[in-house]
Chains A and B, each alone.
Chain A
């Protein structure tokens, strides 16, 4: 009996200690983190100093979208050991949505956590998430051209090739984020079900095909980035002035609501019009049914793989190739150029928030991810496009690119290049997704009302 009592109390004590301990395990701020940041950004530190400090810090927390097993595997098998060799333990936080990491940084900043006191060191980030951090001044600083592997990235503002590195969704990066990867919005078809010849190549053909074959297509639900990008693509294609992406490069402050309404009306009306012919739709004009918009690209692909839709559009230049290789897609899957008017291409980055708990390790992480070896490995192993600029690599490395790059499954780089367009301005993203939710999904009002409301709320 006494044994039981003894065990009970031990368990109780341990439990209480565990709870107290974990509740109190807050990151402690270091005043010399400030000093490190100032010194590093001023260029006063050598890379060896940074490495030394990183080994002292001992770990780095990287928050990234965790929905790709391949990426998770690559990170754990390639990146983690390399960092461990430098004395830094990699801790990854797998997000369902990058916005969660941004929210956390915002919350910590509101709680006055400064340099060295937060909980995230690096975020796989771009677009409106980076915009949110930047506009609140929550980036670590202009570190991207201060790390050794910056030599493989164009940062010279006079060089047009540095555009994608200096502007993220039209918003200046200020070199506060390090290019890591990139991607292009691609559509995959299963040639066993849909011939290449029959596949639509622009939105008029898509609508015709949908009316003839209702229920064989859908797109990811905004505000998930794959859904947003689809809506952006429609906006470009149905731009009444025919200027495609140009007007959407201006920020939300520069485009009045009325102007946006004028530019966006054909596109949003199109999206409303085709709703009955999407998966789950009623199949005829006026019969809306329950159109099914999958939550993310994995759900979209599951519908594709299950034979419910014949075309799946998502970011992923080499996604089809990798999916066929890993058994996810049927062997007859291929890519198509859709729409010809423009498939959005962008870069994504590693951003470092201002309250990174391990700033030196964050620098080391960003640098390591941008090394040519890792970029090539990433491309070959899991088909993630390189973020560094190929023309700055050595001829041997450039030859390697051709070797390891997966197949484009039925289209060519030239075709892709001809159809490439950029994202909209970062500040427009919220407006575009808000309008879709209110106008297309919820039907809360006319387009004019909805856009005015969304503009007012932002």
Chain B
């Protein structure tokens, strides 16, 4: 960093970059972005409480609560929370599958990440590239190729089959995040522990794991996020027998009926795991951790 001689003073007009305030155009832009995120949800929320909302009404001509008393069949939110809609079941499936996928993904990615981060070995860049290829090849290629095999193996329509296919898109992210976590981890602490007489397992458990735990959690959250949002692979392998929130939403939205109260309601419910994840990550994870491994 250059030092300035006393004669050359920085011009008064130059702003101190660290306290830079956003200009009016920037504020407008940010408002636009935030609006772009939030405003689309408004008609969705309104639609979920609508009984009749046909063209050209800007607001429902009849609201859900007005029709509840006289309706013969449960409508809107009543239907969504009834067992018929299978929303609760789908939510359970989504969370269960995502948890299992996250667990397995973490367990198998940890050793690989550790080795990739620390060791030099032949074919290392090939392995790194290999582990990224699932991000480049689209899901449909995997789905079509694997479907018939799974049907023959009896894995189609089972939780096991879905968990297995969910591993494919989650492993690349998990390995990347964990690799950069290990890369950022100085080996000194581990070496000190060994010097002090700790065995390898003790070192692992008492020194390494606590230090990488935030990274593991971040990677785990990412894997959970990916798994809970996967549609195509679950749709193919689940074959209608196992419904998750994305497949449930697809059956509603592909009817083009997003103005239908139930579809709107399901769309909102599908957002709930994401919102919870958002809150968790906001509180506990710093942004840098997420982008580690992608920032170059």
| A–B contact at 8 Å CB threshold (below) | yes
> In the complex, A61→B260 CA distance in Å?
29
A85 to chain B: which residues have CB within 8 Å? none
Closest to B162 in A: A22
Q: In this assembly, does A51 line the interface, its C-beta being within 8 Å of a C-beta of chain B? A: no
Choose one: B54, B56, B82, B158; the contact of A22 (CB below 8 Å). Answer: B158
Within 8 A of B (CB), among A77-112: 77, 93-96, 100, 104, 107, 111
Q: Given A100-B239, A299-B255, are A15 and B83 neighbors across the interface (CB < 8 Å)?
A: no
Choose one: B55, B67, B241; the contact of A306 (CB below 8 Å). Answer: B55
Q: In this assembly, does A11 line the interface, its C-beta being within 8 Å of a C-beta of chain B? A: yes
Q: Given A18-B100, A23-B155, are A305 and B75 neighbors across the interface (CB < 8 Å)?
A: no
> In the complex, A308→B255 CA distance in Å?
15
Q: In this assembly, does A420 line the interface, its C-beta being within 8 Å of a C-beta of chain B? A: no
B140 to chain A: which residues have CB within 8 Å? none
B84 to chain A: which residues have CB within 8 Å? 69, 72-73, 76-77
Q: Given A69-B262, A326-B73, are A306 and B160 neighbors across the interface (CB < 8 Å)?
A: no
Q: Given A104-B239, A381-B72, are A306 and B259 neighbors across the interface (CB < 8 Å)?
A: yes
Choose one: A1, A19, A94, A302; the contact of B256 (CB below 8 Å). Answer: A302
Q: Given A94-B240, A298-B255, are A73 and B74 neighbors across the interface (CB < 8 Å)?
A: yes
> Are the CB atoms of B239 and A382 closer together than 8 Å?
no
A95 to chain B: which residues have CB within 8 Å? 240
> Are the CB atoms of B256 and A299 closer together than 8 Å?
yes
B157 to chain A: which residues have CB within 8 Å? 119
> Are the CB atoms of B54 and A305 closer together than 8 Å?
yes
B163 to chain A: which residues have CB within 8 Å? 19
Q: Given A22-B158, A23-B154, A307-B56, are A67 and B256 neighbors across the interface (CB < 8 Å)?
A: no
Q: In this assembly, does A4 line the interface, its C-beta being within 8 Å of a C-beta of chain B? A: yes
Closest to B250 in A: A96
A119 to chain B: which residues have CB within 8 Å? 157
Choose one: A25, A96, A107, A308; the contact of B240 (CB below 8 Å). Answer: A96
B262 to chain A: which residues have CB within 8 Å? 69
Size of chain A's interface in residues, with CB distance under 8 A?
A: 53
> In the complex, A11→B107 CA distance in Å?
11
A19 to chain B: which residues have CB within 8 Å? 100, 159-160, 163
Q: In this assembly, does B257 line the interface, its C-beta being within 8 Å of a C-beta of chain A? A: yes
Sort chain B's interface into a size bin: 35 or more
> Are the CB atoms of A329 and B54 closer together than 8 Å?
yes
> Are the CB atoms of B52 and A327 closer together than 8 Å?
yes
Choose one: A1, A298, A381; the contact of B206 (CB below 8 Å). Answer: A1
Q: In this assembly, does A325 line the interface, its C-beta being within 8 Å of a C-beta of chain B? A: yes
Q: In this assembly, does B71 line the interface, its C-beta being within 8 Å of a C-beta of chain A? A: yes
> In the complex, A100→B160 CA distance in Å?
21
> Are the CB atoms of B251 and A66 closer together than 8 Å?
yes
A12-26 interface bits toward B, Cβ cutoff 8 Å, 1 = contact, 0 = none: 100100111011011
A326 to chain B: which residues have CB within 8 Å? 71, 73, 75
> Are the CB atoms of B151 and A107 closer together than 8 Å?
yes
> In the complex, A74→B257 CA distance in Å?
21
Q: In this assembly, does B209 line the interface, its C-beta being within 8 Å of a C-beta of chain A? A: yes
A128 to chain B: which residues have CB within 8 Å? none
Q: Measured between C-beta atoms, what is the minimum distance from A62 to chain B in Å?
A: 13
> Are the CB atoms of B73 and A100 closer together than 8 Å?
no
> In the complex, A302→B241 CA distance in Å?
26
Q: In this assembly, does B62 line the interface, its C-beta being within 8 Å of a C-beta of chain A? A: yes
A328 to chain B: which residues have CB within 8 Å? 52, 260
> Are the CB atoms of A23 and B74 closer together than 8 Å?
no
Closest to B209 in A: A4
B161 to chain A: which residues have CB within 8 Å? 23
Q: Measured between C-beta atoms, what is the minimum distance from B236 to chain A in Å?
A: 11
> Are the CB atoms of B256 and A298 closer together than 8 Å?
yes
A288-318 interface bits toward B, Cβ cutoff 8 Å, 1 = contact, 0 = none: 0000001110110111011110000000000
B192-234 interface bits toward A, Cβ cutoff 8 Å, 1 = contact, 0 = none: 0000000000000110010000000000000000000000000
A-B contact pairs, 13 of them (CB 8 A): A19-B160, A22-B158, A23-B154, A69-B85, A70-B73, A72-B85, A73-B74, A93-B241, A295-B255, A298-B257, A308-B55, A327-B67, A381-B73
Residues of B within 8 A of A (CB): 50-52, 54-56, 62, 67, 71-75, 79, 82-86, 100, 103-104, 107, 151-152, 154-155, 157-161, 163, 205-206, 209, 239-241, 251, 254-262
Residues of A within 8 A of B (CB): 1, 4-5, 8, 11-12, 15, 18-20, 22-23, 25-26, 66-67, 69-70, 72-74, 76-77, 93-96, 100, 104, 107, 111, 119, 294-296, 298-299, 301-303, 305-308, 325-331, 381-382
- 9 tightest CB-CB pairs across the interface, nearest first? A307-B55, A298-B255, A299-B256, A327-B52, A302-B256, A327-B51, A23-B160, A330-B54, A19-B160
